[in-house]
Structure 1
């Protein structure tokens, strides 16, 4: 093995080997238990971000774990066609070429999109390979593939024929830049500082006026009522009367509705059913007129007075406010903080807009989807997410599935000149099905389906449905869905409804819900904040200047770029080192507690890079001491085990059980922590040290040395298999070098059996003996540290008190204790026998004494301790002075003050310890 661990020299080499040899494919063993995971299909336009990296690492750990258990595993991979995102990318490309999709026409534009997909659409799948993801690439699917598109078409047609799809004019989230309806998930609500305008609406009977408050004055031209709370004493007498809508010649009624918040504004609310979702619902309840005042560009249309027609919405806002002010109808203007909806791709302010769209009736589908969770056919992990699922599903609105785009699954519906709708697989089928002659002119609907509609078929559409394929029979329902809580409604719920309807079975048995990845301060990662971390940068490394460039490129405002650059240089003055994939993955697992958001601190990945180094160096030690020797490769039993060998074998059984239990319950944080602690502390820090005296002892028998070498190599080989699902590359590289010595065989670690505990190998006697030894050694090492005695200097150890068991354990571990604690002699003090002046410690009821005479320079050590005490005293005075300053205590943030108080307590405790040590030395 190379002296240093260099992940870049092994990772891509092994990945290529795995993929070329088909190791990711299902075993095809029909007797084996099937285990299937469906990847949440990333957008074909996307690139790997921290959320992807976290999610894919979890799925890969699960699939590798079950693959090693002999399950017939399928990780189904694929990408989503991402309607808006992809169309936007290609339209930008066309604009750079001096043309547009409108100039090309629909068919030519679609050709351009496919060309882009072939050339540039594989970025994220290449990056998934860098992450070590092991899906079956030979089965990679795309939501616009012919087979999957057929499934989408069949689902639409059947739902339509079953009366569960209809077309109607309703309110949607409208993106005026892309001219399409979008889902709630594609709307970002950004907090903005705006205004609350208070306008007077004159009563129709000229007896006074009402004052309404609004954040969107331009929509008043579409008002069809003013609403008050039915129990509001201020307005109860006006219910049923009317007001004159300013700037128009219309009168609108005053209605009562319990939805009205009496405490907001004046308690009078203008109702604009065509431009507000809550107003729309109220309009339906009260049978109000619905007046759409905007066109597709969000400019005012012909439904408004002539003076405002064609005006851009925000220009119209200013004009309307000015006009109402001129009429004396502007009561006042207040500053107001509000949430403004923006399109996540376009950045445009989203408008609720009335338009013809296709809808799925969700209530009939939702009932069975709710029942499947209630009766346990589908379980959420953590279980509390079931409540979120139920709350959404029990208040489900019909689902808008149409989008006004060209890229996507075109809706299989045709219209004649009178607007009659005919649904079928093709125009030819429609004509035959509905007996339409050649003289009937037909045009296909221009809209495409929402990408959530097609991805809702993902679990069965990717496996060949509507054909009853072997893959569908073998792997459906899938085993577990790994997803973030933010798409439980948008994706999980849709898959549940559609799969139960068409397959009459659940899409998956378990939904594992993970948190979202945030930065180290708990903030959401976004380009505008400049806190995005590219997982590939962490794997390969990136220098500071390139990191700054990546984070600031594309920012429109120079002040934003300057702020982000300053913060980046402060947080990462050296950029990122090349940490490698295994260290990044292990960091993800360490943070994967169930359902909680993840604060990603780059400092943690550095620690796990050191962990990889530890494993590498430990393996080099093992190979150096085992290669060329008899390590029991022939599986013969002519070897003897030391107490240390028996101990580590026993502990290995316990860690195997712990890790398995953690993985089985999706506690990746517990699995990674347990494995980390065992490898670093038990195996490397203790067992490797315990093996050295045996291997160096010229008097040790060959069978004892063989037993130790056998244990060294076999425990290492087992740990590599245990860790493989979490850190695949380093474990494969080392396993290839140790497998023969460990008596293992095979071409890859990923197809080896996952370790399983053998309780017959648990040795409580050995565990008690080594626990006693560790306690004594650590106590002696603490005395050395406190008294500043060199670790290399041999010292005497006196034991006093203790039990017969302590004496028996000493006899058993005497030689190991002498070497590990670097002792020159061990003396057991008799009852009543005086002890020299010593530093002391306790190990249970047994007292450990290290005589100080001759071991330290009392005068020099006393002076050193006094110097530390004096320095600490000055620091104490400064901190106490700060905390005694009222200006600091009252003005500083609470967390800063708390930190200063904690620091003061720590310094006082440290000073007490130093003073005690000084007193002990002065008494010598």
Structure 2
């Protein structure tokens, strides 16, 4: 079959992907020729998701490892699947129902609503799977898993036992006392009315305000307030009857339980233990709270005193727990001020008794929201609280001076102190509303009871985390772990398998029938909450392999070999999988965790929709082909670094695809075919390229085994483009006519076969196409043999001679370019010095050197006026250029270039000499700056050498 002039990626990718799928080429065990297994678990994308650039990087790296092992004959499984994405999926389906004018979920009920989700999943849930196939991901799609498979109400086609696995683990951990129900502070999304994880909280910098208020001392008491400077000198001394605090959320003052100061803060030592009045609420019920000490307040920030509202701030919660401060909830599930519970008068009375040290028991029903604020939106309540405190004269004020422009009259006015400044505020990443810390009853995992094996596994090396820096993240989180909130107030998900009787007793069982058997004669009600998706995905490695059944897949493919993931879910998912698998089946889920970087834009900025710099990987695939995108991402995947991606980078690697295609087409036009055994050539050029092929294979194997994906890609790029498509093709041209023609055709066909094989894991489409076009094969390249070559194939004599020839040609080309010699000018090559090896290389390869360096036949002579020198190992040459260039013009051009390069280098040197830059810049930025400086310094040295040669002419 004659090759087309160019590779049509759009046509070929779809056709090749269909061929792989028809042949079931990615099935577990396909192409297995050895006993060893290799298993990778895909980090399951959300069922609502679409392919983004992070997915593209993550799945490309997984695919490289999988294809590499499959070609080497491993029994390989790449397990795909999707997460049911509770909150995201519920949002998508509710939005669709609203757009269609259908009744809401509360109107139709839970069962009908979940049925609608299953309908949506059947219609739209495979979007990201199809997009991953476009990328070339070679997962075993026949085993595609889903974290809700087998759940009650699941339709035909969604069979499986993942649900059973999740429920069984919950029941087991509940019976061990590891899972329990309790009241704690959680991130609460008022839009979805559910607790959410930290990963679902997006902290944004927004314009904010800090209000300063006075809390009067009880009974009109006063104290001497003294401020001192760093040297102990008094800078302010006054009598005060209040302590001031600053807050960004004045509405939460209604639930204050104390005011805290640092134990070392001498300003407030006289009043620690006294009571202060909360400056808001009906005066007849104005509450008193104590002044306490705690390590949390910063004496150097603001007034040094902080209000403690334990039910509405995570830091305050910690202070309250340490000091026995009651927790008073102010908001309802929608983020409005509570309208339930006891009357304000009764609530205030109970809170006052608690503040006085009396044990008042559970304060859940206590509602400290004044009647006039009950039911109000939280932000409207904030305005009213501020206005009420200010009107009462309890806002901290400053003296504002204003001069009338016309009359010059001076006006003095007391104004409230309000600091306008940016603040970090938490938003729900799905809802877009401000998240509230909220005290609610939730289900928790007592992680301290299952954390130690996960720590030990990494400490001992049973599981290795790469790069090393991410071990610290893992250890830091697990060593300081808090209880894990696993319940969500949603309808889509694994419903908590706990039932309650009328007295509130709990019955935990896999099914309602089993729970009822535990409570004969009682009416039971099931807990309405569902499990956090991180709980179910925490069982991903064993759940996808059929656990709790002892399936052949579980026996063969677990523990898995490698998890490829992003840094942002080390603790949300990686650590939890470690804890869960070790607790449930007593083994690590994976032996290696490879953590890749975050794909940034070409300027190094994080991609975000608000910045408008998000790159759609499928747009790049449409423009340049999947192979070009995959190769680009791989070449940038340096361990511990964030790739910086722009369309121009992918375009460059589309050119690489074209280069391979053109070289293969040239070979075809010269009668070259692949599929043959490794030849035993006699010509130096052919022996040299076989040795170079063995060298790059060993380097590629070593790089992939070490997860240095970028080294594998850049090494193959240099070999295939530079050594094969450029040098070898050029060296082979004259050999196609003559006594070495047959061995050259055989060698070129064999070398190209090795190129296709080595590039296949990174660039599967173009290599599969070329594999099929260049020989009659009995199998596709996806099931081809990975090359097995070693250092014995490196011919030292051929290697030395051809690399000498290349060095000479490159030296001449570089000198010509730097001196501005016209491309068409053919120069004399004067041999001023040469050892026997150099003369032998000249004699054997003279025509090659003459043609590729554009020089006349080498001739002995001496260097003279108007010549420049070129040196290689064992030889020196002179090039007469005085008659073909304008020496004065070239000198001026090179001096100008040197001046600009030096100026650029000085700028980088100044930046690196700035302590603030070195202290504050990211390590990657500093390293890149040093690399740029080193490159500029090399350029300066080359320019100076060229100027010296011109000066001597």
TM-score tier, shorter chain, comes to 0.7 to 0.9
> 1: distance between equivalents of 2:880 and 2:214?
93
Q: Does structure 1 retain, via aligned residues, the 8 Å contact 2:488–2:530? A: yes
Deviation larger for 277-286 or 863-872: 863-872
Cα distance, 1:810 vs structure 2: 2.1
Give the structure 2 partner of residue 589 of structure 1: 634
Cα distance, 1:736 vs structure 2: 1.3
Residues 1:503 and 2:544 are matched in the alignment: no
Cα distance, 1:444 vs structure 2: 1.1
> 1: distance between equivalents of 2:384 and 2:627?
60
Give the structure 1 partner of residue 752 of structure 2: 716
Cα distance, 1:918 vs structure 2: 6.5
Cα distance, 1:809 vs structure 2: 2.5
Cα distance, 1:512 vs structure 2: 0.3
Q: Does structure 2 retain, via aligned residues, the 8 Å contact 1:865–1:914? A: no
Q: Does structure 1 retain, via aligned residues, the 8 Å contact 2:33–2:74? A: no
Give the structure 2 partner of residue 462 of structure 1: 544
Q: Does structure 1 retain, via aligned residues, the 8 Å contact 2:63–2:761? A: yes
Give the structure 1 partner of residue 361 of structure 2: none
Cα distance, 1:381 vs structure 2: 0.7
Give aligned pairs, total.
849
Deviations 1:714-734 (A, max 9, x none): 011011101110000011100
Give the structure 2 partner of residue 814 of structure 1: 846
Give the structure 1 partner of residue 487 of structure 2: 402
> 2: distance between equivalents of 1:907 and 1:755?
39
Counterparts of 1:120-159 in structure 2, within 5 Å, are: 120-146=124-150, 147-159=161-173
Cα distance, 1:866 vs structure 2: 7.9
Counterparts of 1:325-404 in structure 2, within 5 Å, are: 325-331=390-396, 332-404=417-489
Going from structure 1 to structure 2, the CA distance change for 1:908 and 1:454 (only over 3 Å counts) comes to: closer
Deviation larger for 247-256 or 500-509: 247-256
Q: Does structure 1 retain, via aligned residues, the 8 Å contact 2:846–2:857? A: no
Give the structure 2 partner of residue 197 of structure 1: 211
Give the structure 2 partner of residue 618 of structure 1: 663
> 2: distance between equivalents of 1:299 and 1:441?
34
Going from structure 1 to structure 2, the CA distance change for 1:901 and 1:136 (only over 3 Å counts) comes to: closer
Going from structure 1 to structure 2, the CA distance change for 1:536 and 1:468 (only over 3 Å counts) comes to: same
- SS of the counterpart of 1:235? helix
Q: Aligned Cα RMSD in Å?
A: 2.9
- SS of the counterpart of 1:342? strand
Going from structure 1 to structure 2, the CA distance change for 1:801 and 1:94 (only over 3 Å counts) comes to: same
Going from structure 1 to structure 2, the CA distance change for 1:695 and 1:789 (only over 3 Å counts) comes to: farther
> 2: distance between equivalents of 1:747 and 1:389?
44
Q: Does structure 2 retain, via aligned residues, the 8 Å contact 1:26–1:74? A: yes
Give the structure 1 partner of residue 687 of structure 2: 646
Q: Which consecutive residues of structure 2, in runs of 5 or more, have no partner in the other structure? A: 151-160, 222-240, 340-366, 397-416, 909-920
Residues 1:284 and 2:287 are matched in the alignment: no
> 2: distance between equivalents of 1:842 and 1:878?
30
Deviation larger for 179-188 or 679-688: 679-688
What's the TM-score, normalizing by structure 2? 0.85
Deviations 1:122-172 (A, max 9, x none): 110010000000000110011110111111110111111111111112111
> 2: distance between equivalents of 1:44 and 1:632?
43
One of 266, 276, 289 as aligned partner of 2:303: 266
> 2: distance between equivalents of 1:458 and 1:86?
19
- SS of the counterpart of 1:712? helix
Q: Which consecutive residues of structure 1, in runs of 5 or more, have no partner in the other structure? A: 541-577, 884-893
Q: Does structure 1 retain, via aligned residues, the 8 Å contact 2:193–2:489? A: yes
Deviation larger for 167-176 or 47-56: 167-176
Give the structure 1 partner of residue 403 of structure 2: none
Give the structure 2 partner of residue 299 of structure 1: 336
Deviation larger for 480-489 or 329-338: 329-338
Q: Does structure 2 retain, via aligned residues, the 8 Å contact 1:626–1:713? A: no
Going from structure 1 to structure 2, the CA distance change for 1:494 and 1:914 (only over 3 Å counts) comes to: closer
Cα distance, 1:758 vs structure 2: 2.0
Q: Does structure 1 retain, via aligned residues, the 8 Å contact 2:681–2:687? A: no
Cα distance, 1:878 vs structure 2: 13
> 1: distance between equivalents of 2:8 and 2:664?
14
> 1: distance between equivalents of 2:141 and 2:895?
66
> 2: distance between equivalents of 1:655 and 1:211?
70
Q: Does structure 2 retain, via aligned residues, the 8 Å contact 1:479–1:509? A: yes
Residues 1:663 and 2:699 are matched in the alignment: no
Counterparts of 1:69-88 in structure 2, within 5 Å, are: 69-88=72-91
Q: Does structure 2 retain, via aligned residues, the 8 Å contact 1:463–1:472? A: yes
> 2: distance between equivalents of 1:372 and 1:500?
9
What's the TM-score, normalizing by structure 1? 0.87
Counterparts of 1:860-879 in structure 2, within 5 Å, are: 861=886, 865=890
One of 779, 786, 790 as aligned partner of 1:758: 790
Counterparts of 1:556-595 in structure 2, within 5 Å, are: 578-595=623-640
Q: Does structure 2 retain, via aligned residues, the 8 Å contact 1:379–1:509? A: yes
Going from structure 1 to structure 2, the CA distance change for 1:798 and 1:908 (only over 3 Å counts) comes to: closer
